[in-house]
Amino acid sequence: MAKQDDDFKKVISHAKEYGYVFQSSEIYDGLSAVYDYAQNGSELKKNIREYWWKAMVHLNENIVGIDAAIFMHPTTWKASGHVDAFNDPLIDNKDSKKRYRADVLIEDHVAKIEAKIEKEVAKAAKRFGDAFDKEQFLATNQRVLDYQEKADGILKRMGRSLENEDLADVKSLIEELDISCPMSGSKNWTDVKQFNLMFGTKLGASAESAMDLYLRPETAQGIFVNFLNVQKTGRMKIPFGIAQTGKAFRNEIVARQFIFRMREFEQMEMQFFIRPGSQQEWYEKWKENRLKWHLSLGMGEENYRFHDHEKLAHYADAAADIEFRFPFGFKELEGIHSRTDFDLSQHEKHSNKKLQYFDPELKENYVPYVVETSIGLDRMFLAVFAHSLQEEELDNNTTRTVLKLPAVLAPTKAAVLPLVKKDGLPDVAHKIIEDLKWDFNVTYDEKDAVGRRYRRQDAVGTPFCITVDHQSLEDQTVTIRHRDTMEQRRVAISEVKGIIHKEVDMRSWLQRMQ
């Protein structure tokens, strides 16, 4: 645990030191769980958004994108169920006065049991060596089976109690499991209560005429209310999807873990409209497709897993998370939800407008079913950033800190460095930048010895350094250094663009999905 905490602290301080993420309004001591993206962070975030948009909208003939407003008519949230049911169960510790999400306390307890299983697996793998069969071990080892049964039983009971709104049983479960406050160790708990997560605000000039509004807690509803507009104007045929990215707001009870859980964050969502009855098939397809998108970034298959939901939201008939191995363990990165016709039917009811589709093949009208994919852009940022931050032992017994961002996402693709600040080398460097800047985000750096500049670019995640030296003046060549391998090659200036392009081109990264 201490190592995990330590690694995570390093991620947070690196994000600040290298201009990725700052605490919001830091000069006023910050605002809890609100963050600003800095000069490099905003580029990385934009690149992740583009990588998603390209894969989702441009590469799918039957998916289009929109950009709906954050403010929506307040009835939207009544219809969607958010006014009545967008709650988290919270529990306070009477001694430490700390507030927790009851379900998170229980899930953390289960994670500890799962960690014991992983430990058993690691022990057995060591004992049996090459002959070790993990699947068989998991299916037959009695100790592992007992742990698994215990973990499953707890999650099942929690899911049932939450679904039935039996908050007293959620509290009983916390007591039976002997869960204590992570801050103080105390087991002196209050009852579990529901807490609505939406932020309210007002629209209008005078107090009498003002209308109560909510800041949207998800982007999805902007898609549902526009379903028919898009279908008609885009002449879309089912199955088709509508995608969008944008801000969402939630008054999270426990907002810690940096940008993992924020009060203002950004989502990238896609609602896929389908024939009723085909939801299982599309749900499976989208699970597979979204995992492929993640894997295309090359961050290691072993760092992802699916988690099927026991407790389903009020709108869903199936739901799974893609979990990623964050520095603090496996946690939800993306959700894939089969939302049935819940949202469109509810909006029909509350608006008195038909939200139906005439299916020319079936020759009938129906309210489409929906499978949704929903990922937090900030969470994806954290996954990419934390995974990429590495300390490497070098041959000469030194270490280097390197941010091995997937090159397609890196904020700056190349740094151009004149070896010295004189003899016309800066002019050559600027000329190279003049040419490259039309294709890539590039930067110029002439301060300090070139070795230190390389280290700085490694830490900031720049895939290439291009060094201009005296030989460049004579034969129009430069040294190009690769961030990950540290390999340096002498190449003609005219070749540089092609070399960078090959490594950062979104096309070749996304083609890995096929």
DSSP for 178-206, please give it. Answer: T---TTT----B---EEEE-PPEEEESSS
Cα–Cα distance, 349 to 346 (Å, whole number): 5
Give min distance, CB of 379 to ligand ATP, in A: 4
Residue bearing tokens 């990419």: 384
H helices of 98-141, where?
Answer: 102-128, 134-140
Q: Measured from the CB atom, is 378 or 458 closer to ligand ATP?
A: 378
Q: Measured from the CB atom, is 372 or 469 closer to ligand ATP?
A: 372
Give min distance, CB of 126 to ligand ATP, in A: 34
Cα–Cα distance, 394 to 346 (Å, whole number): 60
Cα–Cα distance, 458 to 403 (Å, whole number): 6
Q: Measured from the CB atom, is 162 or 466 closer to ligand ATP?
A: 162
Cβ proximity of 268 and 251 under 8 Å? no
Q: Measured from the CB atom, is 266 or 469 closer to ligand ATP?
A: 266
Cα–Cα distance, 59 to 49 (Å, whole number): 14
Cα–Cα distance, 12 to 326 (Å, whole number): 13
Footprint on this chain of ligand ATP (rule: CB under 6 A): 218, 250, 252, 261-262, 265, 267, 332-335, 374-376, 378-379
The count of C-alpha atoms lying within 13 angstroms of the C-alpha of 328, restricted to the half-sphere facing its C-beta, is 18
Residue bearing tokens 């529990």: 91
H helices of 177-297, where?
Answer: 220-224, 227-233, 279-295
Give min distance, CB of 399 to ligand ATP, in A: 32
Q: Measured from the CB atom, is 154 or 262 closer to ligand ATP?
A: 262
Give min distance, CB of 249 to ligand ATP, in A: 9
Give min distance, CB of 183 to ligand ATP, in A: 20
Q: Measured from the CB atom, is 14 or 101 closer to ligand ATP?
A: 101
Q: Measured from the CB atom, is 113 or 255 closer to ligand ATP?
A: 255
Q: Measured from the CB atom, is 56 or 425 closer to ligand ATP?
A: 56
Give min distance, CB of 313 to ligand ATP, in A: 8
Phi, psi dihedral angles at 411 (to 5 degrees): -60, -45
Instruction: Quote the tokens at residue 356.
Output: 């139906």
Beta strands (DSSP E) in 411-452 are 414-418, 442-444
Cα–Cα distance, 359 to 369 (Å, whole number): 13
Q: Work out the angle between the directed axes of helices 102-128 and 167-176 (0-180°, nearest 10).
A: 40
DSSP for 353-364, please give it. Answer: ----EEETTTTE
Q: What is the largest CA-CA distance in the chain?
A: 80
Residue bearing tokens 């080398």: 425
Nearest residue to ligand ATP, using CB? Answer: 376
Give min distance, CB of 300 to ligand ATP, in A: 19
Instruction: Quote the tokens at residue 471.
Output: 């030989």
Give min distance, CB of 253 to ligand ATP, in A: 10
Give min distance, CB of 426 to ligand ATP, in A: 43
Give min distance, CB of 262 to ligand ATP, in A: 4
Give min distance, CB of 252 to ligand ATP, in A: 5
Cβ proximity of 422 and 64 under 8 Å? no
Q: Measured from the CB atom, is 79 or 333 closer to ligand ATP?
A: 333
CA 346 centroid distance within chain: 29
Q: Measured from the CB atom, is 357 or 369 closer to ligand ATP?
A: 369
Cα–Cα distance, 415 to 464 (Å, whole number): 6
Q: Measured from the CB atom, is 380 or 414 closer to ligand ATP?
A: 380
